[in-house]
Structure 1
């Protein structure tokens, strides 16, 4: 019945600034802008496949979290540079001071976090091949590779 998530919405303090961030920095395409509500809809990836709604809420902003699917190579090799070049700070799920991506072993998925200008928590995520290992919790990518190579050698 359900095939995927089509859209999600977040609140932003200034709609024009938020649209500028999501289109010019993150590369999403503007689908519709309605100043009377005020709301903007942006395409994520291919048009009409997924959408992000931005609702202007100047006060009492409720911050949200969502993740963008990305390639493993982008997350490992370019995400930090991309974020830094756009004045954004990368952090990992553990918020332990490192900007290195982490692996959620239960999925498994490689992930790196950053905040939009309104403090919404955004994530770049890539689902890794192989079986999940929930007992490992959250580990560095290097640790994930090492554990999986040891685990495969034992099989």
Structure 2
């Protein structure tokens, strides 16, 4: 048995309809299934049936989570910040230092930018970068990463 990827993840949301609207109309995911007996909606992520996100309405014991959407390096560098702002979403980097630019996790290496859904779940666009990880460099700007190459 070899695990070849992560197929689905589930998160809690406070208002299912508001979250379905956010993930479908704002981020462009598609409804896969709405459970008629439980407050849950499954959404397709990507083309076809590649990945799935489950939204569970939970008001009493709500706990925000984190997960990342895979994107291309080019999209993150050239479009992600504007894409988020056009949708009234606040982009932020891992350091939460007020800089609205993607950062590099040097240990992977990967480029990432963050934003929140309406319930405060921490979402991320991430792209793996070419080359070997450099954990000693920590988290840095993309420009700084390019200077290390």
Structure-1-length-normalised TM-score: 0.93
Mark the runs of 5 or more structure 1 residues left unpaired by the alignment.
149-155
User: Given the alignment of the two structures, is residue 115 of structure 1 paired with residue 132 of structure 2, yes or no?
Assistant: no
Q: Distance in 2 between matches of 1:136 and 1:44?
A: 32
- Mark the structure with the bigger radius of gyration: 1
Q: Distance in 2 between matches of 1:115 and 1:35?
A: 27
Structure 1 ranges of 4+ moved more than 3 A: none
Q: CA deviation at 1:49?
A: 1.4
User: Given the alignment of the two structures, is residue 58 of structure 1 paired with residue 78 of structure 2, yes or no?
Assistant: no
Deviation string, structure 1 residues 63-104 (Cα, Å, up to 9, x no partner): 000000001111111111111111110000011111110000
User: Given the alignment of the two structures, is residue 39 of structure 1 paired with residue 40 of structure 2, yes or no?
Assistant: yes
| Residue aligned with 1:83, SS | helix
| Residue aligned with 2:75, SS | helix
Q: CA deviation at 1:35?
A: 4.0
RMSD: 0.8
Q: May I ask how many residue pairs the two structures share in their alignment?
A: 148
Q: Distance in 1 between matches of 2:15 and 2:35?
A: 13
Q: Distance in 2 between matches of 1:53 and 1:46?
A: 16
| Residue aligned with 2:22, SS | helix
Structure-2-length-normalised TM-score: 0.97
